[in-house]
Amino acid sequence: MARSKSSNRWLEEHVNDPFVKQAQLDGYRSRASYKLLEINDKDRLIQPTALVVDLGSAPGGWSQVSTKLVGHKGRVVASDILPMDVIAGVEFIQGDFTEQAVFDQIMATLDGALADVVISDMAPNISGVNAADQAASMYLLELALDMACQVLKPKGSFVAKVFHGEGYDSYVKAVRQFFDKVVVRKPDSSRARSREVYLVAKGFRGA
């Protein structure tokens, strides 16, 4: 079957992408690792000894970065519907965190500890229907924010990938209700034509 023009363009972009090449050299599982590294350089979110919760973690690019940043005295608890190969220092729970059993498993793994940072690079499976994809994305974001509000310690931080479109403004407003400072970042490693940006929220005030 012939590939579509858009998938050919994606493949060409991917093969020639300097961040893809760099990820292979640095041993990162995805180019997304550089988005978190860039955000962390600017916002100093993940400190040594921190407890990080990584939602939608597969294939593991953000978990790899997080476990390096927190060091051997920190912790990374990651979760995804998809399987994820083992990463030293990362406690991984496979399943849909919106299901009670999986949520309970994450809470049991945290064992009463509150997170310093919740990170989410989640995106829904793309159907190609923009309105449906945007709605699915906003739904995941609401769930990620809800999870962050349940597991973050006071003054904790939250980072989430958000796509510009329907529901974007009201979501930013919702995040501002719970955090002292909310900024929008577009890392250099995020493709220019992508609608994605990253919300960085600091100073959790409590739900």
Residues belonging to the active site: 161
| Residue 154 and residue 204 in contact, taking contact as beta carbons nearer than 8 Å | yes
Q: List beta partners, residue 117.
A: 52, 157
Say if residue 10 carries a ligand binding annotation.
Answer: no
Say if residue 60 carries a ligand binding annotation.
Answer: yes
> Tokens at residue 62, please?
């953000």
Q: What is the spatial distance between Cα 54 and Cα 29, in angstroms, rounded to a whole number?
A: 15
Q: How far is CA 196 from the centre of its chain?
A: 12
Say if residue 133 carries a ligand binding annotation.
Answer: no
**∠ at Cα 110 (139, 78), nearest 5°?**
50
The residue behind tokens 């940072």 is 117
Q: How far is CA 172 from the centre of its chain?
A: 16
The residue behind tokens 């978990």 is 63
| Residue 30 and residue 61 in contact, taking contact as beta carbons nearer than 8 Å | yes
Say if residue 96 carries a ligand binding annotation.
Answer: yes
Say if residue 188 carries a ligand binding annotation.
Answer: no
Q: What is the spatial distance between Cα 142 and Cα 165, in angstroms, rounded to a whole number?
A: 15
Query: Helices marked H in 80-199 — which ranges?
Result: 100-110, 130-151, 168-178
Binding residues: 60, 62, 80, 96, 121
Binding residues for S-adenosyl-L-methionine: 60, 62, 80, 96, 121
